[in-house]
Structure 1
Amino acid sequence: MPAPKNTHAAVHYRVEAADLHAHLFHVTLTLARPEALQELSLPVWIPGSYLVREFAKNLQQLRARQGRRALPIQQRDKQRWQVACDSTEPLVVEYAVYANDASVRTASLNATRGFFNATSLCLRSEGQADQPCTLDIVAPENIATSAQWHCVTGLFGLETDAQGFGLYRAADYDELVDCPVEMGAFWSARFHAGGVPHRIVVAGAAPSFDGQRLVADTRKICEATIAFWHGKGKPPFKSYLFLLNAVHDGYGGLEHRNSTALICARADLPRTSAPHTGEGYSTLLGLISHEYFHTWNVKRLRPSEFRHYDYTQENYTELLWFFEGFTSYYDDLLLRRAGLIDDATYLKLLTKTSHQVLQAPGRQVQTVAQASFDAWVKYYRPDENTPNATISYYTKGALVALCLDLTLRREGATTLDDVMRALWQRCAGGPMAESDLRAVLQQLAGRAFDAELDAWVHSTAELPLAELLAAHGIALQAEVPQPAQRLGLRVAENSAVQIKAVLRGGLAERAGMAAGDEWLGIEVQGQGWRIAKLADIALYAGAEKQVTALVARDARLLRLPLQLEPAAAPRRGGKTPVPAADTVSLGVADRALATRWLAGAASV
């Protein structure tokens, strides 16, 4: 029998699930032709999640050798190392990585499951990052575990066994780190969408999990999305992989070029015993839709600043309102177009998004373009002042997309759907700038949209939601706010009221309340009452407009005078005062107009 061919590339990684209980991967990097002074580095962030996460903190026992000769390693900074070696001889670098983060962003290894993004495990070899590389994924040595475990990734398989372990190929380091790896005893199914094979893998599902329902609904999402971008054409990938980890309580996703890693609550999966799914399942479908849409909008059509990723530091852009916000607009809208939710459910989801913007005082402080740029220090590091100082580029970006789409449809020349497809063509499914969006809008709509983008994206002006929705058969009405919003609070209610955030200019701030306070009770007309939730205030205060709040702060008890009704701001001209509408409801006022928009008709 002839000897097997050596299919290893000049840059080769071997990843072993070395110690499940210690959460340790063992990694071996072999460079066939190293530099004389070979620099190695580990990324500090992963594309799609805009925070410096310092993955090198989990790397340990780093050593290098050529043949049997051990080589000294000089650490250059927190993430870079340098090895002086013979450039004519292969360099072997070995190390371990601690992996105990169950999120979609890093790596995890235990007795039931393994998962990793290569940004957490694979050192980048400077000067060779553009070269093809191979990845050998080795099953755990424990015989009982290895017999049950399978492995799956979006990378191209070269030599793999029936369980999926073995050798994979990547065109370069960028592709390697853009294809997460899942291993374990998971559920798996395959389907086709747009003429392309798709696979969905679910780890951690309960016995009641209805896999057929999830596959059928996911296929509808994929078909609707592919049709959105390409009509009857095929998508820009040869296969696609969904990696879904079901946990007791969790939610999140991270997009990749031909796959996505997802987390959901186990109870949100569809069940064979419950044909009628709840809000949690709709939320999961929205997550699937969001990450799949990202395959086009951010993984390929992407900010010009992301033309080449710099893994060593922050990569700034002001365009996350477009790439995350517009994706957030289309994720639920495509569920409606795919027939997975009805109009009422869609409008409920849109109402929630509207509240997240209207009830954030930070929308009057920070523009959505600034929010995009500041993601690295603000969005992923929220604190008690976040709602007062920032706005989400997800939620306000989605409302900017809504306003843009409804404006285009009202004028009748084009739609945002057409704009997205034209951007794809203009930028050849690659890097784009805001100037490209402005140019396409002018080309398709027949006029410039500079005034709208300057107001909606680059200023803190309010969005014309009510006017534009009304033009498309949707009535936006002011509603009575919930107690927390009326008081200007974000709280946790669990047999006591814990204050998480105090909103700028609200009644609670005027009373002197602060984040971290425990609100114990109120005094009304000389009587004290214990409260366990904010709804108790109305019970005990009755018609009183002024009470005393009893608050615990730093082990001290405080008595704070609290006004329960806001002072109404007078209208211009001295007319009847009208309260600000930060709590609204959306309803269909004209079914024909609403259906044309929600069903994706060309214009209204």
Structure 2
Amino acid sequence: MARRPTASTPPPPAPVRHEVRVASLAGHRFGVRIVIARPVATQRVSLPAWIPGSYLIREFARHLQPLHATQGAAELPCRQIDKATWDIDCDPRRALTLNYEVYAFDASVRTAWLGDARGFFNGTSLLLRVHGQEDEAHELTVRAPAGRRDWRLATSMTPVTVDARGFGRYRADGYDELVDHPVEMGAFWQGDFRVAGVPHRLVVSGAPASFDGARLLRDTQQVCEAAVRFWHGGGKPPFKRYVFLLNVIDDGYGGLEHRASTALICGRRDLPRHDSPASAARVGDGYITLLGLISHEYFHAWNVKRLRPAEFTRYDYQSENHTRLLWFFEGFTSYYDDLLLRRAGLLDDAGYLKLLTKTVNQVLQAPGRQVQSVAQASFDAWLRYYRPDENTPNSTISYYTKGALVALCFDLTLRQEGRTTLDEVMRALWQRCQGGPMTEDDFAHTLAEVAGRRFDREIADWVHGTGELPLKALLQAQGVQVLEEPSQLAQTLGLRVAEGDGLVTLKMVLDGSAAAQAGLAAGDEWLGVEVPATPRTKNADATEVSAWRLTKLDDLPLYAGMARQVTALVARDRRLLRLPLALPEKSTTWRLAAREHADASAWPAR
């Protein structure tokens, strides 16, 4: 969070000093300069291949433009070792200076962006790692762009000497911290509040004139207060400041957690407007989704940034860092993000159960839940989660959604047994691991200590197994009605489709479904349907059919009538096929609702 320089004497220059400037707004390029005060004779530097929190090798070095090294007036050769690593032979008695540019044209929360309206970067995309000096103090100086006097800078990094707009010199204790504070620049809206005495800032870029900033600020504060109460009761959070960096675009969604900040993206229609209803639950699903995203990423400041997998004790920035615990760090966070909205008073029970219904159905409608455990899905995140394809729902399960339901099952089981809750387990785990690295054994032992019994069977079945979770019984025991309602036609058939320009294109076909049994495949264009004609007289030809052009999937019942067997007419690689399709009986999805006279002060309100 930027602030004016204080009267205290600034610390001496750090051994590794980074400087970032705008090289070209039109060319979307940042300029970077690094001064290494005490290099070694062969100094190795590298740019990360991924960013913590987003488990995919992204090859950030592909955007780095020629690296130049100098000592005084002498230019030194940079010897490239691999796709993202360079060695520079130099005089260790003299400072080594590196200069390069980085192309920044990715509007996601993971990398870097530079354009006429704003600039944004994560350190993993811009700042080379100086091998052997990762634990030395680092500095980052960000220069104000010429001709942009309305631009300001926001970051959660510790300021040393910065101007009134936030540009200037910042300091980090090491490289891990340096790259864990994203930077936003532009003519953004901002607002401030405090939680347990700790300053928080909300920065919003790209909002329209109708944006109700006061509303979002107030609701965000309520979310943060609920999270801090959850972890610390009346204590303070484990950071000195926190910054939300929200980029608003026409349509989008996403977030990435950091130790004292988060980078977020939402659609403009998801923002609260000055004419919005007073109740958050009545504003609309988009705004509730945004508040859930804010809740999710803020909860991560504890659960994954501090309490984290033992495999993340020290990041390897050049290759995959596998863990089988994302079901806990992403799944449990996904459970609590919506639950904290309920506890903050931003949702009522009906609104919360609507969100939970969506999560339950996402899992129940994925055949992959019976193929892959959430522990294996966690390990495979680098291979599968960020590379979905037409077979994804058949072969894998989301550690976000099923992980959230695993958390729900633990919580409701503990509440039913009457000795404790998952809240108490999470707080005890924080104390056991001192807010640091943890293993699955830490979770199992803490669960046993707090609950008074071991949960080995539940962990084996729910985390490492592929059987169904005991959701219905646990929910009903908490006074929740589990209602079954007709599914949409695509789900009944076992399809995911895209519609447009009069075409129905199959995107996914679920294993075991009527569509799969008919031989339909992803990529097919479903052109029409043949339906046996209903005989008009006793002697009429029963083999007569009527053929219909299909432009919307939901028109299928209109044409099929009472027929239970039709023929799908599809185009596949320009071939026309006739595939017999047995129309199934209606399938059902879940809808969760609170029973009348249920205890409103119990779960999920507390």
In structure 1, the residue matched to 2:5 is: none
Equivalent position amino acid for 2:572 in 1: R
The reply on whether 1:555 has 2:555 as its aligned counterpart is: no
Q: Distance in 2 between matches of 1:363 and 1:371?
A: 10
Q: Distance in 1 between matches of 2:145 and 2:55?
A: 32
In structure 2, the residue matched to 1:570 is: none
In structure 1, the residue matched to 2:137 is: 132
Match of 1:171 among 173, 188, 191: 173
Q: Which segment drifts farther, 446-455 or 495-504? A: 495-504
Equivalent position amino acid for 1:34 in 2: P
Match of 2:546 among 503, 514, 527: 527
Q: Distance in 2 between matches of 1:585 and 1:595?
A: 21
Q: Distance in 2 between matches of 1:561 and 1:592?
A: 49
CA contact (8 A) 1:472 1:594 kept: no
In structure 1, the residue matched to 2:6 is: none
The reply on whether 1:515 has 2:522 as its aligned counterpart is: yes
Match of 1:498 among 488, 494, 505: 505
The reply on whether 1:337 has 2:339 as its aligned counterpart is: no
Number of positions where the alignment pairs a residue of Structure 1 with one of Structure 2: 581
In structure 1, the residue matched to 2:564 is: 545
Seen in structure 2, the aligned counterparts of structure 1 residues 590 and 84 have a Cα distance that, compared at 3 Å, is: same
The reply on whether 1:27 has 2:32 as its aligned counterpart is: yes
In structure 1, the residue matched to 2:333 is: 327
Q: Which segment drifts farther, 521-530 or 264-273? A: 521-530
Q: Distance in 1 between matches of 2:399 and 2:601?
A: 27
| Aligned-pair CA distance for 1:210 | 0.2
In structure 1, the residue matched to 2:413 is: 407
Equivalent position amino acid for 2:212 in 1: D
| Aligned-pair CA distance for 1:345 | 1.1
CA contact (8 A) 2:10 2:160 kept: no
Q: Which segment drifts farther, 485-494 or 552-561? A: 552-561
In structure 2, the residue matched to 1:354 is: 360
| Aligned-pair CA distance for 1:532 | 2.3
Equivalent position amino acid for 1:136 in 2: T
Q: Distance in 1 between matches of 2:488 and 2:163?
A: 57
| Aligned-pair CA distance for 1:527 | 1.6
The reply on whether 1:202 has 2:204 as its aligned counterpart is: yes
| Aligned-pair CA distance for 1:7 | 4.2
CA contact (8 A) 2:30 2:102 kept: yes
With the length of structure 2 as denominator, give the TM-score of the two structures. Answer: 0.94
Q: Distance in 1 between matches of 2:548 and 2:89?
A: 73
In structure 2, the residue matched to 1:584 is: 590
In structure 2, the residue matched to 1:192 is: 194
Equivalent position amino acid for 1:536 in 2: D
Unaligned runs of 5+ in 2: 1-8, 533-544
CA contact (8 A) 2:349 2:605 kept: no
Q: Secondary structure at the match of 2:460?
A: helix
In structure 2, the residue matched to 1:86 is: 91
In structure 2, the residue matched to 1:232 is: 234
Seen in structure 2, the aligned counterparts of structure 1 residues 424 and 582 have a Cα distance that, compared at 3 Å, is: farther
| Aligned-pair CA distance for 1:512 | 1.1
The reply on whether 1:253 has 2:250 as its aligned counterpart is: no
Match of 1:44 among 46, 49, 55: 49
In structure 2, the residue matched to 1:416 is: 422
| Aligned-pair CA distance for 1:392 | 0.2
The reply on whether 1:266 has 2:285 as its aligned counterpart is: no
Q: Distance in 1 between matches of 2:150 and 2:348?
A: 41
| Aligned-pair CA distance for 1:6 | 8.2
| Aligned-pair CA distance for 1:531 | 2.0
Q: Secondary structure at the match of 2:141?
A: strand
| Aligned-pair CA distance for 1:524 | 1.2
Seen in structure 2, the aligned counterparts of structure 1 residues 350 and 5 have a Cα distance that, compared at 3 Å, is: closer
| Aligned-pair CA distance for 1:556 | 2.1
Q: Distance in 2 between matches of 1:79 and 1:468?
A: 50
The reply on whether 1:298 has 2:317 as its aligned counterpart is: no
Match of 1:110 among 111, 115, 128: 115
* CA deviation vs aligned residue, 1:363-386 (integer Å, no higher than 9, x gap): 010000000000000000000000
Q: Distance in 2 between matches of 1:107 and 1:221?
A: 28
CA contact (8 A) 1:474 1:590 kept: no
Q: Distance in 2 between matches of 1:482 and 1:593?
A: 33
Seen in structure 2, the aligned counterparts of structure 1 residues 6 and 399 have a Cα distance that, compared at 3 Å, is: closer
Q: Distance in 1 between matches of 2:455 and 2:37?
A: 54
The reply on whether 1:97 has 2:102 as its aligned counterpart is: yes
* CA deviation vs aligned residue, 1:257-296 (integer Å, no higher than 9, x gap): 0000000001100000233511100000000000000010
Q: Distance in 1 between matches of 2:127 and 2:551?
A: 50
CA contact (8 A) 1:206 1:266 kept: yes
CA contact (8 A) 1:547 1:561 kept: yes
The reply on whether 1:121 has 2:123 as its aligned counterpart is: no
Match of 2:465 among 439, 459, 462: 459
With the length of structure 1 as denominator, give the TM-score of the two structures. Answer: 0.95
| Aligned-pair CA distance for 1:557 | 1.9
Q: Secondary structure at the match of 1:190?
A: strand
Q: Distance in 1 between matches of 2:16 and 2:551?
A: 60
Q: Distance in 1 between matches of 2:139 and 2:460?
A: 47
CA contact (8 A) 1:488 1:509 kept: yes
Q: Which segment drifts farther, 208-217 or 538-547? A: 538-547
Q: Which segment drifts farther, 476-485 or 409-418? A: 476-485
Q: Distance in 2 between matches of 1:551 and 1:148?
A: 57
Equivalent position amino acid for 1:172 in 2: G
In structure 2, the residue matched to 1:437 is: 443
Q: Distance in 1 between matches of 2:429 and 2:584?
A: 49
Q: Distance in 1 between matches of 2:193 and 2:419?
A: 37
- 1:466-505 equivalences in 2 (<5 Å): 466-494=472-500, 495-505=502-512
* CA deviation vs aligned residue, 1:126-181 (integer Å, no higher than 9, x gap): 0001100110101222x1xx211111111111111111111111110000100000
Q: Distance in 2 between matches of 1:277 and 1:103?
A: 26
Q: Secondary structure at the match of 1:479?
A: strand
Q: Distance in 2 between matches of 1:360 and 1:499?
A: 16
CA contact (8 A) 1:473 1:594 kept: no
Q: Distance in 2 between matches of 1:5 and 1:244?
A: 31
Q: Secondary structure at the match of 1:583?
A: strand
Seen in structure 2, the aligned counterparts of structure 1 residues 553 and 400 have a Cα distance that, compared at 3 Å, is: same
Tell me the C-alpha RMSD between the 2 structures: 1.3
Equivalent position amino acid for 1:78 in 2: K
Q: Secondary structure at the match of 2:83?
A: coil
CA contact (8 A) 1:290 1:328 kept: yes
Match of 1:13 among 10, 13, 18: 18
Equivalent position amino acid for 1:255 in 2: E
Q: Distance in 2 between matches of 1:16 and 1:222?
A: 33
* CA deviation vs aligned residue, 1:552-583 (integer Å, no higher than 9, x gap): 221222211111116xxxxxxxxxxxx9x761
The reply on whether 1:536 has 2:542 as its aligned counterpart is: no
CA contact (8 A) 1:242 1:260 kept: yes
